[in-house]
Structure 1
Amino acid sequence: MVIMFAGLWVAALVKPSVPVGPLDVGASLAGACAVLVRRRWPLAVLLGTALLCTVYYPLSALDGPLVAALFLALYTAADRGRVLPALLLTAAASAAIGIEELRGDPRHVDDSMIMLVGGWMLAAVAIGGVTHNHRAYLREAEQRVRAAEHGKEEEARRRALEERLRIARDLHDVLGHNLSLINVQAGAALHRLADHPEQAAPALATIKETSRDALRELRATLGVLRQGDPDRPPGLAGLGELIGRCGLDVRTEVAGEVTGLPPEVDTAAARIVQEALTNVARHSGVRAATIRICRSGGTLLVEVDDAGRGTASAPGHGITGSGITGMRERAAVLGGTLTAGPRPGGGFRVSAAIPCPSNASDV
């Protein structure tokens, strides 16, 4: 408002012979009031200031600064995303001024001034459009940043969940397998202690070794919680030691090259064998098992068979228990499958197929 009346005062100084009339004051006051609400109603203010200019300039001899309100209304409309209406009004106003000046006599402005006024209006629209696009770009960039941060948080949560599941499976494998063997060997030692005490010593020695190995593997597994870089659990290279501790008569059949496996495949295969032997020792009622390991056609096949109570009515094998579930999860994480259930000829079978490319870099 101050600028409008200051401009009116300057116009009066430029044309001292022309008095400032009520039309000049009223139009300047109306333009100033319209400018104050231009952000809330940009199109209404744009049309209002255009009408004011249409009425004021043909009737006023002072030519006050009301056109400045029109420029500001054009800028605000474009800045609020109303670029097309602002452009249409600019074109219409420029055409109307040109036609009126060409038809009028005498002419109030020359041709260069007509073009200059049109250029100012077009510049106001252009600047408003630039600021609108700039704000839109900043909003989009901010949304992309927020989306990226959200995606990183989701990825971190997913990895943390996968790591917790992996640790839970490792703890189940270590504790379940070794404690089951300790329980079996302790039962054997107690059975032999009364009648054949000299035969209890091997069982007690196995208990000692198994408990020591269990503690070692437990420390390695929990190392990820302390420092994030635990020792890698043993793979198929430690299969002989695993079989020696399980207290079973195990026959092993290996076909294909099973050395140089990707670490995650090697560890998963060893854990599946370990859990399957634990189930044999705990639930089958027999002391013998067969392990078959075959690497062929980009797939590692692992099978553990026993001749025990592998019937559909023998839930002791834990077909839906945490042990079988853990083995299935290990295979599924690597894109493989695992089946566990009674064999047609009797007994129980755990069979896993894990993708295993020839080169670890292909994983």
Structure 2
Amino acid sequence: MGFVRKQPGFEPYLALIVAVGQVVLSQGASWGQRAFKEPLDAMAYVLLFVGPLAILARRKYPVTATIIALLATYAYTWLGYPLGPIYLAPVIMLFSLVTHGLRRIAWVLAAVTLAVSLAYSHAMSRPGATGLFHDLAITAFILLLMVVAELARILRERRVQQQRAVEEETRRQASEERLTMAQELHDVLAHNISLIHVQASTALHLLDDNPEHARTALATIKTASKEVLGEMRSVLNVLREGAPRSPTAGLDRLEELVERAGLDVTLKRVGSRPLPSQVERAAYRIVQESLTNAARYAPGARVTVRLEYGATQLAVRITDSGATTHAVLAEEGGGNGIPGMRERAAALGGTLTAGPSGTGFEVSALLPLPEENS
């Protein structure tokens, strides 16, 4: 892990605070330790400013800056100047190394600092200034600093991981939404283009012999083309980043779908209850795809669309009586209509079957529903 900036321009303020703190507090420490420490002189002030200057470079040269700050602290200590505030910069530097991932180097430098401190306390010992308790206090302070830094590093990494997890989940949901919208766009295009093609073929066939019926077919083409443009605009708006979600097709629009199907369709509803939006959308698309297939492969057929609203599932059944005229689009290749309907049902935990039924064809889907609130 690299050395990461906390925020632009933060180091100068921190360095200034540390510099003022070390100089001012060291002057107070000098007065308190005047009996056994050297007074502050020009060299002492130079060494007091080395640590804050090293903080300015920690962003680009973290290890080098930390070593320089520690060396200045060692020199200050061994020259006999007042102890205490001089350790503020090294504490910050070691803490930063750990929290930004340079843990091994930080622990090595902490161990060196402990060794130097213990060596100094014994080499420059005075009565009551050294001993086991003194050594343990120094060791405990350095260990506490490193443990707190490790805890801060762990918390920081957890926050980063949580943020990444949230971002990944957001991207995943966006991808799933776009995939759903792409499927919606496919279904809209497949249905309306097939309807337009059927009606155009009918209009061409009847144009000379039955112009009134041809006019009806052309009117259906106009309505279907307007519908497909509107739905395409709605779906594409959702695919655009940050666009507001437009209402999607639901069962309240089945009558409109039936009217422009170009078939003799009977719509039956058994019962009624509120449905989740995803179930409504799936049921609508299943009916839409079934009517598209009937228009393509069974022109002239009588079609029955039956919806049964149960307590735990929605039953959708579309049956046709079989073609009564030549299927002008039957030879133009198959698509993914039935597999797509099965995928929609399976995505909701439901089932879908499709196959011949008498002289015609039947599509039957069972979509699970949540329990109604009493």
TM-score, normalised by the number of residues in structure 2? 0.61
Greater Cα shift, 317-326 or 218-227: 317-326
- SS of alignment partner, residue 357 of structure 1: coil
Indicate how the Cα distance of structure 1 residues 117 and 187 shifts in structure 2: closer, same or farther if over 3 A, else same: same
Task: Please state if 1:355 is matched with 2:350.
Answer: no
In structure 2, the partner of 1:67 is 122
Gaps of 5+ in 1: 8-36, 54-64, 71-107, 310-315
Return the letter of the residue paired with 1:250: V
Match of 1:248 in 2: 263
Q: Which is greater in Rg?
A: 1
Matched ranges for 1:69-108 at <5 A: none
Residue 130 to residue 45, structure 1, CA distance change in 2 (3 Å): closer
Shifted more, 217-226 versus 120-129: the winner is 217-226
- Residue 228 of structure 1 deviates from its aligned partner by 2.0
**Does 2:309 correspond to 1:295?**
yes
Displacement of 1:193: 1.7
- 1:145 to partner: Cα distance: 1.9
Tell me which of 183, 188, 193 is aligned to 2:202. Answer: 188
Structure 2 counterpart of 1:239: 254
1:38-49 paired onto structure 2 within 5 Å: 40=108
1:301, distance to aligned residue in structure 2 (A)? 1.6
Code of the aligned partner of 1:352:
A
How much is the aligned-residue C-alpha RMSD, in angstroms? 3.8
Q: CA deviation at 1:262?
A: 2.6
Identity of aligned residues (%): 39
Q: Aligned partners of 2:116 and 2:252: how far apart in 1?
A: 87
Q: Hey, which of these two has a bigger chunk of helix by percent?
A: 1
Q: 1:129 to 1:69 in 2, by over 3 A?
A: farther
- Give the unaligned 5+ runs of structure 2: 1-73, 81-104, 324-329
SS for the counterpart of 2:208 is helix
1:336 CA displacement: 2.8
Contact (CA 8 Å) 2:353, 2:364: kept in 1 or not? yes
1:143–1:2 Cα change, 3 Å: closer
Question: 1:14-163 to 2 correspondence within 5 Å?
Answer: 40=108, 65=120, 67=122, 113=128, 117-163=131-177
Partner Cα distance (1:241, 1:214) in 2: 13
Look up the match of 2:355.
Answer: 342
**TM-score, normalized by length of structure 1?**
0.63
Task: Give, in angstroms, the shift of residue 272 of structure 1.
Answer: 1.6
Provide the rounded CA distance (Å) in 2 between the counterparts of 1:69 and 1:280: 100
* CA 261–339 in structure 1, closer or farther in 2 if over 3 Å, else same: closer
3-state SS of paired residue (2:267): strand
Letter aligned with residue 255 of structure 1: V
2:233 & 2:106 partners in 1: Cα distance?
71
**Structure 1 residues 42 and 178: alpha-carbon distance in aligned structure 2, compared to 1, 3 A threshold:** closer
Q: Distance in 2 between matches of 1:167 and 1:267?
A: 11
Are positions 1:220 and 2:234 aligned together? yes
**Where has structure 1 moved over 6 Å in runs of 4 or more?**
41-50, 316-320
